[in-house]
């Protein structure tokens, strides 16, 4: 949930640490802090609020330092106050942490009995005290013993008094990446801060300990045996993780969608049809299973709903979609010959990881549709299908959703062909239409001014409904989530036919109702539902292809002809509506309040 960074090398540490925290800030921005070795002493500077507040406080600090650690926080234990900001210091130990120490109360009690005094409400400070209590002469031994006592998840970067210019790091359950470049060695919560220096990275396993010292990286096993790190090579470039001339990452990421879509789809088309063998998914996979269960969170879950609609429609394969955080606790009944799909941009969402592990323990093969190479989900799944959105930095997911959706189409066509519900010829037609959707997405991006005009009309809107049927309902859910999370408009999605069964009572002259229609067979019914809403005096908007005739209110045209692939252009419009509505209100589009991109706690 938080972002951590550590550096030791020949360069000035401060710009490396603050630059790294800027890349990690999407993980949380309640507070930020840095600790550096400066003239043989460890100094800490922390501030409540975004990194920019800390940067002001850091002016003139740490001129000599070549080594330090940093943190950007999404509050879990304790309010977003300076005293709860990391780094935390106890005795001779100063550390930053991402994760949750589940037995922190017990540890804190034990440490208080030993005379430690606590200044924060965090679980992290208990871990700092524990490590300090175990630290006699050897930091490695202290960390190894602490790992035996700590329950929960963590990635730590630790400075130990007595070991100047060294950063010690250890993980269990929380992500950590390490890299070495000409001028130093780094660890960080993810790859993005490293990309400015190197594209070679090492992903430590749970329990391994890393030591950064003046540009070198040493690795130790859980038993403290020295090991040789095996580095991976990242395809991501530093430019991909920058704004590239746009005002916001979200804006850039919306515009990258046609490219991301092409990069994800094209390599998986062979002889005119989807082929997933390079992803390790064997020919006939979808023929041999009796059911597919999709588990994910948030936007990825709504993509799963689209997956269900597409796969059931085309391949007649039953699909169940699960909110990952619910799956474990409702004692699901698994069918024989069932397979699962987990969908995740980060590959680090704790609830999705837990759902995946549970299903694998029950012997269910899991396909991961994941955007971040080397992430926990990418590493643990039975089959990993990487989407090629590139790094997604804005908290609101846009391009990652679109590439996940593209994969749902590939699955649906492939499964339909394998199960004989469509002919080879039809599969080729569908695949061609899928690749063609890129053009409609481009055209949708050109509608930005029209969307902005509509977004201005929402300036005073507090509540809004999206309605749709079938796939359009799944799209409505994603459209409403986008609007909620960045514009703070209370937007709800409703199955169009369901509105009149109670919720219509909430519709007033100040509550816009927006209907989505991409599926021609549902047009008449959804239009009737929109008319029912209009009759109650609320502002109405139709988002549909040009062929759908509507003369009772505003219409935003979806480029293309709608139908099976219509949602791919529709999603661009829904994202632009959320973007423009939030921008008109002057909000920070990349860092919506209370949220963090990567939710690594359950
Ligand atoms: O990294 P993941 O795809 O697993 O993340 C899942 C959700 O947390 C994520 O989609 C979230 O809902 C987005 N902020 C929505 O824009």
Tell me whether residue 551 is in a domain: yes
pLDDT number for residue 79 = 84
Does 599 sit in the ligand 1 pocket, CB within 6 Å? yes
347/211 same-domain check: no
- Counting as low any pLDDT under 70, the low residues of the chain are 601
Residue 601 falls inside a structural domain: no
Single pTM value for the model: 0.87
pLDDT at 329: 84
Instruction: Mark which of 194, 210, 238 sits at the end of a domain.
Output: 238
User: What confidence score (pLDDT) does residue 9 get?
Assistant: 97
Query: Closest Cα to atom 11, ligand 1: which residue?
Result: 298
Beta strands 200-201 and 31-38, pairing class? unpaired
Say what the pLDDT of residue 243 is: 85
Query: Residue 463 pairs with which residues in a beta bridge?
Result: 490
DSSP letters of 31-97?
EEEEEEEETTEEEEEEEES-HHHHHHHTTT--SS--EEEEEEE--SSS-S-GGGSSPEEETTEEEEE
For position 244, what pLDDT does the model report?
Answer: 84
Catalytic residues, by residue number, are 2, 597
487: nearest Cα among 596, 581, 395, 594: 581
Q: Which of 206, 238, 270 is the last residue of a domain?
A: 238
pLDDT value at position 590?
Answer: 87
Q: Is residue 595 part of a domain?
A: no
CB 505 within 8 A of CB 340: no
300 lines ligand 1 (CB under 6 A): yes
Choice from 1, 190, 298 to test ligand 1 binding pocket (greatest atom count within 8 A of CB): 298
Q: What is the pLDDT of residues 414-445, one digit of tens each?
A: 999 999 999 999 999 999 999 999 999 999 99
Q: Which pLDDT does position 492 carry in this prediction?
A: 96
Q: Are residues 564 and 482 in the same domain?
A: yes
Number of domain units in the chain:
3
Ligand 1 in contact with 349 (CB < 6 A)?
Answer: yes
Nearest residue (CA) to ligand 1, atom 8: 298
Domain that holds residue 367: 247-442
Helix (H, G, I), strand (E, B) or coil at 297: coil
176, 203, 238 - which closes a domain: 238
- What per-residue confidence (pLDDT) applies to 80? 83
Residue 593 in any domain: the answer is: no
């Amino acid at each position: 949930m938080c972002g951590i960074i550590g550096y030791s090398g020949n360069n000035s540490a401060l710009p490396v640490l603050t630059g790294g925290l800027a890349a990690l800030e999407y993980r949380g921005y309640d507070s930020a802090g840095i600790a550096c070795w400066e003239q043989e002493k460890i100094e800490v500077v922390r501030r409540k609020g975004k990194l920019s507040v800390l940067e002001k406080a850091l002016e003139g600090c740490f001129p000599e330092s070549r080594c330090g650690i940093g943190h950007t926080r999404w509050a879990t234990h304790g309010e977003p106050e300076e005293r709860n900001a990391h780094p935390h210091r106890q005795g001779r130990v100063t550390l930053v942490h991402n994760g949750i120490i589940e037995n922190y109360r017990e540890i804190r009690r034990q440490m208080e009995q030993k005379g430690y005094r606590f200044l924060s409400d965090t679980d992290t400070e208990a871990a700092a005290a524990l490590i300090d209590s175990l630290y006699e002469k050897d930091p490695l031994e202290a960390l190894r013993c602490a790992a035996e006592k700590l329950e929960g998840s963590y990635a730590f970067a630790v400075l130990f008094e007595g070991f100047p210019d060294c950063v010690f790091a250890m993980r269990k359950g929380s992500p950590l990446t390490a890299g070495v470049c000409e001028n130093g060695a780094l660890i960080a919560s993810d790859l993005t801060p490293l990309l400015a220096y190197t594209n070679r990275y090492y992903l430590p396993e749970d329990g391994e300990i890393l030591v950064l010292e003046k540009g070198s990286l040493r690795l130790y096993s859980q038993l403290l045996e020295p090991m040789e790190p095996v580095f991976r090579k990242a395809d991501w470039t530093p430019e991909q993780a920058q704004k590239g001339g746009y005002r916001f990452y979200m804006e850039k990421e919306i515009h990258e969608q046609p490219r991301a879509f092409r990069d994800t789809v094209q390599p998986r088309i062979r002889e005119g049809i989807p082929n997933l063998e390079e992803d390790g998914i064997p020919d006939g996979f979808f023929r041999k299973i009796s059911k597919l269960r999709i588990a994910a969170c948030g936007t990825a879950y709504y993509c799963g709903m689209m997956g269900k609609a597409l796969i059931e429609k085309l391949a007649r394969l039953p699909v169940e979609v699960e909110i990952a955080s619910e799956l474990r606790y409702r004692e699901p009944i698994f069918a024989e010959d069932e397979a699962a799909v987990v969908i995740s941009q980060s590959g680090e969402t704790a609830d999705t990881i837990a759902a995946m592990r549970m299903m694998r323990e029950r012997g269910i093969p899991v396909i991961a549709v994941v955007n971040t190479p080397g992430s926990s989900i990418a590493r643990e799944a039975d089959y990993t299908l990487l989407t090629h959105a590139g790094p997604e930095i804005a908290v609101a997911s846009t391009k990652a959703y679109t590439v996940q959706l593209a994969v749902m189409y590939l699955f649906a066509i492939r499964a339909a062909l394998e199960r004989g519900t469509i002919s080879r010829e039809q599969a080729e037609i569908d695949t061609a239409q899928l690749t063609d959707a890129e053009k409609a997405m481009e055209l949708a991006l050109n509608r930005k001014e029209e969307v902005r005009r509509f977004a201005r009309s929402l300036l005073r809107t507090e509540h809004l409904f999206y309605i749709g049927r079938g796939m359009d309902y799944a799209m409505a859910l994603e459209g409403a989530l986008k609007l909620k999370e960045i514009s703070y408009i209370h937007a709800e999605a409703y199955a169009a036919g369901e509105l009149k069964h109670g919720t219509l009572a909430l519709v007033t002259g100040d509550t816009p109702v927006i209907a989505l229609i991409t599926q021609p067979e549902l047009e008449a019914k959804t239009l009737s539902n929109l008319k029912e809403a209009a009759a109650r005096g609320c502002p109405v908007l139709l988002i549909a292809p040009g062929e759908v005739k509507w003369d009772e209110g505003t219409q935003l045209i979806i480029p293309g002809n709608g139908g099976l692939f219509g949602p791919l252009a529709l999603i661009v419009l829904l994202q632009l509506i959320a973007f423009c509505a939030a921008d008109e209100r002057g909000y920070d589009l990349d860092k919506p309040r209370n949220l963090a991109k990567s939710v690594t706690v359950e």
